[in-house]
Amino acid sequence: MEPESQREIARMSPSLTVSRIAAQQGSVLRELRTASLREAPYAFGETLEDALLVEPSYFDETAARHASSEKLATFLLYTEGHPCGLVHAYIEDAPNARAFVSALWVAPAVRHLRGGELLVKVASQWLVEHGAAEVHAWIADENRTAMRFYERLGFGPTGDRRAMPSHEEEAESLYVRHMHSAREA
């Protein structure tokens, strides 16, 4: 059963809903991932060409894993029942594990409805419920819009930077939001 706070967040906008990916939604994951790379190739850690070369079974396996794992999840945004966005949430597998949101994307036609905010809030809530005190996000330095978006949600730069995995000539910066309670996500 979904906690009350997560139900409230998931219904923030009357035309938008968010739910955790279901095991059989590999094709939806692939569709949204490739759409995100077509629309904003500079913002993610892979290229459209790489994503198109991946076997559909990989997306099926990823959806199944993200549907049931205690360490990682994908949340899908819907408008009137149609998938239109996604975000990943995960907890590092390391001694001082950090929690992250990543690969946030919302279709341009519905961005004005605040779906990105809804996705990050639901994913952050899930991370808090799994023990996170902070939520992190790597953001491409070139993506000023994403930086402003995360800052509006209470994230701030940590000062850590690294080369982007698929575009080593470009950098990304680490942002963090300190979570004080499950209600604040």
Per-residue pLDDT of the chain (185 residues; tens, 9 = 90+): 344 444 444 445 678 999 999 999 999 999 999 999 888 876 676 778 888 888 999 999 999 999 999 999 999 999 999 999 999 999 999 888 999 999 999 999 999 999 999 999 999 999 999 999 999 999 989 889 999 999 999 999 999 999 987 778 889 999 999 997 545 55
d(CA 51, CA 7): 32
Whether the model pTM is above 0.85: yes
Q: How far is CA 5 from CA 122, 128, 176, in A?
A: 9, 12, 22
pLDDT at 6: 47
Number of folded domains in the chain? 1
Domain region containing 162 = 4-184
CATH number of the structural domain spanning residue 105: 3.40.630.30
d(CA 129, CA 46): 29
135 sits in which H/E element:
strand 134-140
In 11-102, alpha helices (H): 26-39, 48-53, 56-68
d(CA 32, CA 48): 12
Contact at 8 Å (CB) between 100 and 172? no
d(CA 34, CA 29): 9
pLDDT at 67: 98
pLDDT at 14: 72
pLDDT at 50: 81
pLDDT at 177: 98
Sign of CA dihedral 39, 103, 67, 108: negative
